[in-house]
Amino acid sequence: MNVRREDNSNRETMQYWKNPENNVVYEMYSAPNPDYNWSDAQPVYSLNTKLSNVKFAKQGKPELQKNVFLDRKFEAKVDDYIHDIKQGGRVKQAALHSVTNVGVEIVNVFGEVFGKLDRKYAGKNLAREIPVPNLVIEIDKVTKFTGLTRIGEMQLPSQKELTYTRQHFEANKFGLMFEISEESQLKNVHNVLQDSVQVASNKVEQRASYDVIDIAKTLTAQTAPVGWDVFTASTDHSTANPLDDLLISVSNIEGAGVGGKVDRVGLHLFTNAKYAANTNLRGVANTTPVDVTFEPGTSQLLGMDGVGKVLDNGVPQGTAFVTSVDVEPAIAYFQGPQRVGSKHNEITGSDEYFIIDYHLAALINNETGRQINAVSTPISF
């Protein structure tokens, strides 16, 4: 057989022949003589040694003989080939072996792409998500009856009627278009389309959290008398109890009879750290908060069972949002239809993709949500 072997020192065509007498593969410049007198041949591989090792390996014996390769350069070439196959083939390399430019044989490309991932956006969880098929949303709100009244004998109660008020909303339109140029596809060995889609997919969640947090800033304000991070001088305990401020909001929402149920509290990561460090929550002796996570997202709020804690870097420091999400929600996030599409530019050879998203974050019940201000001192960074 004829195999082209590329080497910096030898660019001639090499031939590999097996000697039937000793089962050894030789490397030579030309075909062997009929008498198999290969004076200019170089042994590179022993088939007998390979067969013996296979036999011993099947029997579980340790008597494996020396390396089957009789030539170090040939062994290195085989190792490189096996390594390339295990890595998924040579398609993962930007350039293959070149006969002309042997000095630069392979240009390796790092297989990981940095910069695609984005931070977690959890602010959307402060609102109740309502999917809507149309762009126009009508919300009816009912005015509850007043309480029962005591009446005399043979008297009838006064008639009551439910009164509805209608709120009109229209979803906003958001769009994002990204281009994948022909040059980037030719120059980059990575999947440019896949990376672009992954980056673009985070932007809908990002915009939703931003919009919900902006609406939460319009909730009825309640100022904390003392910050949660204030300690009494010459003592080891916090001055204020965060649960008092939160329970005031709970009383305003649940105790007033508007029908809401507090189930979410939105905090910045720094505000959450000061909340968890308050001695009314962690105890004087325990310096490490128990069951507290500072990872952005939704988890259990320390000290209040059944209330979810929404951590998002977009929540202003020193502010706590208290909302009802499941029952009589304060904020609604209307998720309308989404459109995706693509087009091809014949002049530049570029492919363009777009996302059209219709959604709206709106305050639909200002009685079932509160924002507590001045709960801690913001940190400048």
CA-to-CA dists, residue 67 to 46, 72, 277, angstroms? 9, 10, 64
Main-chain phi, psi angles of 34, to 5 degrees:
-60, -25
Query: Where is the domain boundary, 72, 92, 112?
Result: 92
- Which pLDDT score, from 0 to 100, does residue 13 have? 67
Check residues 319 and 11 and name the one with the higher pLDDT.
319
Mean pLDDT of 16-21: 80
- Which pLDDT score, from 0 to 100, does residue 42 have? 82
- Which pLDDT score, from 0 to 100, does residue 70 have? 76
- Which pLDDT score, from 0 to 100, does residue 131 have? 92
The answer to the question of residue 53 being in a domain is: yes
Give the confidence band of 6 by pLDDT, cuts at 50, 70, 90.
very low
The answer to the question of residue 103 being in a domain is: no
Verify that 242 and 324 share a domain, yes or no: yes
Q: Is the pLDDT of residue 170 over 80?
A: yes
Verify that 327 and 191 share a domain, yes or no: yes
Verify that 54 and 195 share a domain, yes or no: no
Q: Is the pLDDT of residue 287 over 90?
A: no
Verify that 86 and 164 share a domain, yes or no: no
User: Which of 39-43, 163-167, 290-294 has the highest mean predicted lDDT (pLDDT)?
Assistant: 163-167
CATH of residue 350's domain is 3.90.1690.10
Verify that 49 and 159 share a domain, yes or no: no
Give the confidence band of 185 by pLDDT, cuts at 50, 70, 90.
confident
The answer to the question of residue 333 being in a domain is: yes
Mean pLDDT of 177-195: 84
The pLDDT tens digits for 230-279 are 998 888 788 999 999 999 999 999 987 788 899 999 999 999 989 988 88
The answer to the question of residue 81 being in a domain is: yes
- Which pLDDT score, from 0 to 100, does residue 73 have? 75
Mean pLDDT of 118-134: 92
Verify that 349 and 306 share a domain, yes or no: yes
Q: Is the pLDDT of residue 166 over 60?
A: yes
What rounded mean pLDDT belongs to the chain? 82
- Which pLDDT score, from 0 to 100, does residue 81 have? 66
The answer to the question of residue 158 being in a domain is: yes
**Residue 141 lies in domain:** 123-373
Verify that 218 and 290 share a domain, yes or no: yes
Looking at the chain, the whole-number percentage of residues with pLDDT higher than 90 is 41
- Which pLDDT score, from 0 to 100, does residue 215 have? 97
The answer to the question of residue 353 being in a domain is: yes
The pLDDT tens digits for 323-355 are 999 989 999 999 999 999 999 989 988 999 999
Verify that 227 and 86 share a domain, yes or no: no
The pLDDT tens digits for 112-122 are 778 888 888 99
The pLDDT tens digits for 19-75 are 877 788 888 877 777 666 667 788 888 888 877 777 777 776 666 666 777 777 777
Query: Where is the domain boundary, 77, 92, 107?
Result: 92
The answer to the question of residue 241 being in a domain is: yes
The answer to the question of residue 225 being in a domain is: yes
Domains contained in the chain, number? 2
Give the confidence band of 193 by pLDDT, cuts at 50, 70, 90.
confident
- Which pLDDT score, from 0 to 100, does residue 69 have? 76
Verify that 23 and 167 share a domain, yes or no: no
Q: Is the pLDDT of residue 295 over 90?
A: no
Verify that 68 and 172 share a domain, yes or no: no
Check residues 98 and 372 and name the one with the higher pLDDT.
372
Mean pLDDT of 123-152: 90
Give the confidence band of 284 by pLDDT, cuts at 50, 70, 90.
low
Verify that 235 and 348 share a domain, yes or no: yes
- Which pLDDT score, from 0 to 100, does residue 288 have? 54
Verify that 319 and 246 share a domain, yes or no: yes
- Which pLDDT score, from 0 to 100, does residue 341 have? 92
- Which pLDDT score, from 0 to 100, does residue 9 have? 44
Query: Where is the domain boundary, 92, 113, 147?
Result: 92
The pLDDT tens digits for 64-112 are 666 777 777 777 777 776 666 665 554 444 444 445 555 544 555 556 7
